[in-house]
Amino acid sequence: MNTDIYQPGKDDINDGLSTIERTVLSDYKYGFVTDIEADEAPMGLNEDTIRFISAKKNEPQWMLDWRLKAFAYWLKIAKEEPVWANIKFPAINYQDIIYYSAPKQKIAIDSLDQIDPELRKTFEKLGISLDEQKRLSGVAVDAVIDSVSIGTSFKAQLAELGIIFCSMSEAIQEHPALIQQYLSSVVPVTDNFYAALNAAVFSDGSFCYIPAGVRCPMELSTYFRINAENTGQFERTLIVAEAGSYVSYLEGCTAPMRDENQLHAAVVELVAMENAEIKYSTVQNWYPGDKQGKGGIYNFVTKRGICKGNNSKISWTQVETGSAITWKYPSVILKGDNSTGEFYSIAVTNNHQQADTGTKMMHIGKNTKSRIVSKGISAGVSNNSYRGLVQVGKNAANARNFSQCDSLLLGDKCGAHTFPYIEVKNNTAVVEHEATTSKIGEDQIFYCNQRGIDTETAVALIINGFAKEVMNQLPMEFAVEAQKLLAISLEGSVG
């Protein structure tokens, strides 16, 4: 198969997706580039870069100070980049990255109609509609391309309920008190290498605030797209659910195909108060690199939620099919009594992809529960690791955990690994762990063939059966997309 990297040109948007597909002959159909003028920081990372970003976003002084402090800390630990994960990659040159790139917009956006038509087309191609049309399926959408949020639909309707759903940049200006109260309250600047970097250079992301007792009436979603070359994307998302509230949030991610690796180091923080529930779903399809393992996104993400109040609940659902390397552990701190944390994950690796992903469930309050269902699918020559921590603190009476880690291997050149860590300091805890490993080999495919099912359909059937329990957790609108995505990402992996 021809794996030439697509070269962007002026006529591409008008030619439409089929031309690009023909030109590129690749399975990654989001690999196109949007030809649009961008506003960029000079390459490299120093204090000036931080000031540049902050100035571009018109941030108040306290935000700039916060960033600079984070940057000073990162410089201190810059030599201690973590290397313990079960992944291999060449050292990242942090000076070789552009830390800010925003599509140039001619005018400030009051309505979605004013968004640059090229950008609108991009999102349409990706199947993301910024229109009020989305109302029919009841999904509010924020769109972030490179370092900026493009627009958020339904803001007015949500505002009537007291719900804030806007870009992080906007939140810093419009809701400083909330930001100051909650930003980095779950993932401190000093948490890890990439969190520190993110705190210094974070670009944009989403901010959601659900007031007490309010059940958010629609799915909130943000769509992240990396477009410009040589940039890193460092988004920052914060969701706060006050007592008795509910919100379901979904993020989707794609990026163009490029030869070089691009770094995506995001931080997501969730805060759930008493009796509140936050459901956070991710369908990640960053460019995974070509069949030889060249290019692709490095997806190094810190996601953490705190069940602060009693009876609160946070669930993470992720379908990770892209990225050259995925390194993330969406976690839940179960501080409130009777709180619940859930983690449902499908991680797919094909060709040369690598994944080291899992979760940390920290049981602190009484009668806390956690549930982990992790499905890893490996194909090609890829490597897929689950790493999970179930921690039960000294005073965490009656903690309950159930973990199930299943690996599915397609062919015999890929790898699946499981690293479960269980630390229990209270003897009333019940912790269960189950793990299975299975393989789809030629025999199973032939069995399906002999029953009239062709190989491609057979693989899709098998994968969907395997991944069903996790797929069922996704909001319905996205479950269908995710299923298609699974099938596409595993095309050609068997037979």
Residues making contact with other proteins (CB under 8 A): 408, 436, 438, 440, 442-444, 446-454, 457, 461-462, 465-468
CB of 445 to other proteins, least distance (A): 9
Q: How far apart, in whole angstroms, are the C-alpha atoms of residue 431 and residue 99?
A: 43
Q: With respect to other proteins, which residue has the nearer C-beta, 310 or 449? A: 449
Q: With respect to other proteins, which residue has the nearer C-beta, 394 or 451? A: 451
Q: How far apart, in whole angstroms, are the C-alpha atoms of residue 318 and residue 428?
A: 31
CB of 378 to other proteins, least distance (A): 15
The 3-state DSSP composition of the chain as helix, strand, coil percent (nearest 5) reads 25, 35, 40
Residue 42, both tokens: 């000079």
Q: How far apart, in whole angstroms, are the C-alpha atoms of residue 74 and residue 199?
A: 9
Q: With respect to other proteins, which residue has the nearer C-beta, 23 or 444? A: 444
CA 46 to chain centre: 27
CB of 457 to other proteins, least distance (A): 7
Q: With respect to other proteins, which residue has the nearer C-beta, 69 or 468? A: 468
**Which single residue is written with the structure tokens 């580039």?**
33
CB of 467 to other proteins, least distance (A): 8
**Which single residue is written with the structure tokens 């070789």?**
96
Q: With respect to other proteins, which residue has the nearer C-beta, 96 or 442? A: 442
Distance from the first to the final alpha carbon of the chain: 15
Q: With respect to other proteins, which residue has the nearer C-beta, 113 or 454? A: 454
CB of 362 to other proteins, least distance (A): 30
State how beta strands 139-145 and 219-225 pair: parallel
CB of 384 to other proteins, least distance (A): 16
Residue 286, both tokens: 């960053």
Q: With respect to other proteins, which residue has the nearer C-beta, 166 or 448? A: 448
CB of 62 to other proteins, least distance (A): 51
Residue 325, both tokens: 């390397």
**Which single residue is written with the structure tokens 């984070």?**
70
Nearest to 311 by CA among 281, 343, 334, 344: 334
